[in-house]
Structure 1
Amino acid sequence: MKKIFFILTTLLFFNFSCSKLLDTKPTDFVVPEFFYSNAAELQMALNGVYSQLIDADCYGNNYLYMFNTNTDESYGFSIDLITSYQYTFTDTKVNVLWNSSYIGIERANMLLANINKPQMDETKRGIIEGEALFLRAYFYFLLVSNYGDVPLKLTPTASVKDVNIARTPTKDVYAQIVKDMIRAETLLQTQTITSVGYSGKITKTAVQGMLARVYLYMAGFPLMQTDKYADALFWAQKVVDSKEHGLNPDYSQVFINYAKNKYDVKENLWELEFFRDNNGFANKGGTYAGRFCGIRCSDNSVGYSTGSIVATRKLFDLYQINPASVTTPNKESFDLRRDWNCANYNYGSAAVAKKTAVTSPWLMCAGKWRREYEEVVPKNSNFTPQNFPMLRYSDVLLMLAEAENAVNGPTKVAYDAINEVRKRAYGLMLPTPPNPTVNSALTPGLLQDKFLDAIKAERSRELCFEALRRPDLIRWGNFVQDMKTFLAYAIANGGNNLTITTASRMVTERNLLLPIPSYDLSLNKLLTPNPGY
């Protein structure tokens, strides 16, 4: 069912023997002068850029769970120095995200430098160029939103001596990201999600939706370029106006589809391809979604998961409760997302799974990625084949509502966008709604600041465990205070265990950015460390 285009040949072709930024010219490498000679080789090079995103050092593991576990919506089941914001500039996990991103950038730069080399159909060339430009921009987006000022390099590394490059100001990195993405959107006018038929390739609306996200980040901390809210609104509206996308009526089915290797091009503007059995692929093409961030289980026939990511009671309590239900910790919720995202059962640690109820809202595993629905067998105990959503339509609607509120206040446009998400959440898009008379609409007449508060809560309910909460809290400008507020909430609501509170106790202003890696600081004499490291 999946479009498997990250072929093994690509991975061998792009085998960098040294992954450090600007360290040296790659070895074990096909000489560029003898490659990029036809359309097939350009496509192979593009596949190599895509493949870096699914590397374990990037979205395969580290970015998803090392840096985005401990917020007000989730925590790590055990204390870890990285996930609890106690990392230093020498920590490997911090270094590999940086290195992995620059490997992707180098691959994109090499492709773009040779994009005009072969004789080929110009439309096809433009599409490859557009995808490469977008992916380079996205890697820089990862870097600048996590490390701040970073070296901006738009040409391939030509010499072992090209190691000293200063950090480019954040605003200039974002300017280049926007420039590349807007150019990509122009080149991808004919590459729509409908024409492609699956969500693993960059299409026109994927670029438009990601531009909305980029502009929202520019509007927030640290740049505070509030005029960019209008740009975010423009690009989010273009996605809606395209009529290419719509919400899946069933929230849980969105994630069951990832497990069952089924595409939903209406819901998903872009998803990372992880369909592999991981036998012989050297950790390429498998993710830890479901393995770390899943329902605890030691039975491989059901789907092994450490259940390392746990929902917080604060997340659990965000979902609206049916006042007519009994007053217990698991009382009935109007919002169907709660019991999907906060798993009220696990399978225990026995070799044979035994489904056991979980009643404490502090002990519910992140339930979004459920391995019991996987159809790729035998199930691997370390990696899962589930694709990962990089951009869903519900996110676009919530970005549109946020941007509209910032530009024009809580207008009908803003209310309609958030209420569409809430309507699905309450089951009102299902053929047979469980509570057909329930009112899912957001409280009318909110002031601008209260509407923003509603957006913040709705994003957590809808997008939890999708590596967006920490960046959201940072761009909204109150990350450290939000974590301290969560600490007070946890202590007051039965969550005083150190595994729950350590991260919020340890977080400081330095954690607004990751540290610049120690190796690169020693190699590149023009690099400077981030504050606090």
Structure 2
Amino acid sequence: MKKIYLPVMLLLLTFTSCKKFLEEKPNGLLTPDNYYNSQDQIRAAVNGAYLGLNSPFATGIGVAVSSVFSLEYITGYTQRPRPSGYEDNQFIQLTGIDQANGTLQTWWTSSYYPIENCNSIIANVSKTNVVNETVRDNFLAEAYFLRAYYYFQLVRLYGSVPLKITPTTDLENTQLEKAPVADIYNQIVSDLTTAEQAGLPWTDKTGHVSKGAIKSLLAKVYITMAGYPLNKGTEYYQKAYDKAKEVIESNQFSLFSNYSDLRNPSNYNSGEHIFMIQHDENTIPNIMHFSLMPYPEQPISIQPSYSGAMAPAKEFYDSYQAGDQRVKEKNFYYTEHEQYGNASNIIKLPMPYIYKYWNDQAEISGRDGSNFPLIRYADILLLCAEARANIDGGTTSDATALNAYNQVYRRAFPGAPAVASVALNEVLKERYWELAYEFQTWYDMQRTRKAFDVANNKIVDLIGYKAPLHTRAFREQDLLWPIPLTEVQKDPNLGK
């Protein structure tokens, strides 16, 4: 009997509650004969596949250093208040990314390890008879969604990569050719449309994959395929619009009335939060609250030293229009805060800092257990408007698209009249402002090949644009990251 080697299976988890379903329970090497033999075992295996969502956020040295911040550094709209090292500066300054940069390896393994887990789940659960067909198909839907999510992450970061959809049954023949980008996207769509057919509910308060998450991700995939690098155009903008419209017309999601509601734990996995990383302050804490604290250290926190990872470039912060509620104090940003332990003393901060991920409870416990949003309803609303504007030649008066755009716009500008038409570039700017520092902007820049010239308040071509914090303008070779050197050394095919 051959053993199945599953790297991520070392992190298999036991389901307990929505906040604890990522609690680690190591199991070591496994075989099909001693696993997938009960519903609880299958549930644990599927839970394990979620771990890769949080892996890029991990930090192991106690300060605000994490691979996830590279996605914001490379945009050129993000500064690092804490002194940065050589690897971070490659992204922050756009000096060119070294193939040996450790960030590349983290993103690579954060996708391929859980993909291997998904492959094992799909291969083994597909033939199981220990659960009924509906339960089986729902488990499979989660695995298909997660595999699609990880490949979507890989193909946008690295372009052509190996496409592996079967489990590893031994350690031989592990070297793989890179697949064409189009093939990878086709597999992503196949996985998501398969997941879409299962009986998952539209929402899932526990934080597991839902129908709403599947359809939302499919909309994001289609709009990416419509743009660069595949340039499939109108047909795929229509697919993106149709899928976003399904999410909207389900009436299962809604924008929160106040931006502070985004941070309220009682709202996690509901309302505006379509899909989130689940955290627990004791077992899998969120790094964001303390990583984004002001630097140099300010006495506004129980732990002020683990700070300074990311703050808005002044030029980007200043680009918000007068009256925009997103820059109202303690909505998306803040410039002052009460002193920790002495609320009557207001500390003025050296620059605007990001408030999106502030967690009041963390100030009591010293650990952040807040969930992190991966897909937000505001994203899908703006995606709907963007897709329709592309279909309609650059400006749209489509009722669904306008209603979607106006929901986001009028929350930012309460009392403003609804717009009767909206231009593509206005939608794109709204995406920059609304989704800032949610690790979405770089992907938008890649697929549209557009940038936001914040100094002149206009959308411009990405290639040739020099972002506020970069030392030079974007070049074509900046758009994809090199495959990690260690991976190329192990598999020369990846260097071709």
DSSP-derived class of the 1:364 partner:
strand
Counterpart-to-counterpart distance in 2, 1:440 and 1:337? 20
Question: How many residues are aligned here?
Answer: 452
Taking the aligned partners of 1:376 and 1:343, their CA distance within structure 2 comes to 16
Aligned match for 2:117, one of 93, 103, 107: 107
Matching of residue 263 in structure 1 with residue 268 in structure 2 = yes
**Structure 1 CA distance for aligned equivalents of residues 294 and 338 of structure 2:** 7
* Other structure's SS at 2:374 match: strand
CA distance 1:460–1:113, shift in 2 (3 Å):
same
Q: In 2 relative to 1, CA 501–395 (structure 1 residues): closer, same or farther, beyond 3 Å?
A: closer
Identity %: 26
Distance 1:43 1:299 in 2: 44
Deviations 1:456-494 (A, max 9, x none): 111122111100111111111135xx5xx56x779xxxx
Partner of residue 10, structure 2: none
Note if contact 2:229-2:447 (Cα within 8 Å) is conserved in structure 1: yes
Paired residue type of 2:271: K
Which string of whole-angstrom CA distances, capped at 9 and with x for unpartnered residues, describes residues 189-217 of structure 1? 34221xx334x111001110111111111
Q: State yes or no: 1:293 paired with 2:298.
A: no
Whole-angstrom CA distance in 1 between matches of 2:470 and 2:276: 29
Instruction: Identify the residue that residue 336 of structure 2 maps to in structure 1.
Output: 345
Q: Distance in 1 between matches of 2:225 and 2:442?
A: 16
Change (3 A) 1:320 1:459: same
Q: With structure 2 as the length reference, what TM-score do the two structures score?
A: 0.84
Cα distance 1:338–1:167, how it changes in 2: closer, same or farther (>3 A)? farther
Assess if the C-alpha contact under 8 Å between 2:313 and 2:468 holds in 1. Answer: no
Tell me what 2:462 maps to.
Answer: none
Amino acid at match of 2:215: Q
After superposition, the Cα gap between the structure-2 partners of 1:238 and 1:266, relative to the gap in structure 1 and judged at 3 Å, is same
Across the aligned residues of Structure 1 and Structure 2, the Cα RMSD in angstroms comes to 2.8
CA drift of 1:90 comes to: 0.9
* Aligned counterpart, 1:403: 387
Map of 2:281 onto structure 1: 276
3-state DSSP class of the match of 2:416? coil
Aligned equivalent of 2:447:
475
Structure 1 residues 422 and 501: CA distance shift in structure 2, 3 A: closer
The gaps in structure 2 that reach 5 residues or longer are: 1-16, 458-466
CA distance, structure 2, for counterparts of residue 65 and residue 420 of structure 1: 29
Cα distance, 1:220 vs. partner? 1.2
CA offset at residue 288 of structure 1?
Answer: 2.0
Contact 1:270 / 1:392 at 8 angstroms: preserved in 2? yes
The structure richer in strand per residue is: 2
Distance 1:272 1:420 in 2: 25
Task: Look up the match of 2:35.
Answer: 35
Greater shift, 153-162 or 173-182, is seen at: 153-162
CA distance in 2, matches of 1:65, 1:39: 37
Identify the match of residue 177 of structure 1 among 182, 185, 188.
188
Q: Is residue 18–residue 205 contact of structure 2 (8 Å, CA) maintained in 1? A: no
Q: 1:159 aligns with which of 159, 165, 170?
A: 170
Deviation (angstroms), 1:313: 3.0
Alignment of 1:166-315 (within 5 A): 166-187=177-198, 189-193=199-203, 196-198=204-206, 200-226=207-233, 227-255=235-263, 257=264, 260=265, 262-263=267-268, 265-278=270-283, 285-296=284-295, 299=299, 302=302, 304=304, 305-315=306-316
For the residue of structure 1 that corresponds to 2:470, the secondary structure is helix
- 1:118 is displaced (CA, Å) by 4.0
What's the CA shift string for 1:222-270, capped at 9, x where partnerless?
1111121011011100001111111111122212x1xx46425111111
- C-alpha deviation, 1:502, in angstroms: 4.8
The 1:30–1:264 alpha-carbon spacing in structure 2 relative to 1, beyond 3 Å, is closer
Rounded to whole Å, the distance in 1 between the matches of 2:293 and 2:418 is 30
Equivalent residue, structure 2, for 1:97: 107
Task: Tell me, in whole angstroms, the C-alpha distance in 2 between the residues paired with 1:263 and 1:164.
Answer: 41
Deviation at 1:92, TM superposition (A): 1.4
**Counterpart residue type for residue 335 of structure 1:** Q
1:320 to partner: Cα distance: 2.5
Q: TM-score, normalised by structure 1?
A: 0.78
**Aligned partners of 2:332, 2:362: CA distance in 1, in Å?**
21
Question: CA, structure 1 residues 215+287, in 2 after alignment: closer, same or farther (shift >3 Å)?
Answer: same
Taking the aligned partners of 1:166 and 1:230, their CA distance within structure 2 comes to 33
- Residues 522, 94 of structure 1: alpha-carbon distance in 2 compared, 3 angstrom cutoff: same
Alpha-carbon distance in 1 for matches of 2:379, 2:430: 10
Residues of 1 paired with 2:348 and 2:298: CA distance? 16
Contact preservation (8 Å) 1:209, 1:236: yes
Counterparts of 1:261 and 1:502, CA distance in 2: 37
- Equivalence for 2:347: 356
Cα distance in 2 for partners of 1:127, 1:59 equals 33
Match of 2:461 in 1: none
Instruction: State the one-letter code of the partner of 2:184.
Output: V
Offset, 1:397: 0.6
Counterpart CA distance in 2 for 1:197 and 1:81 is 39
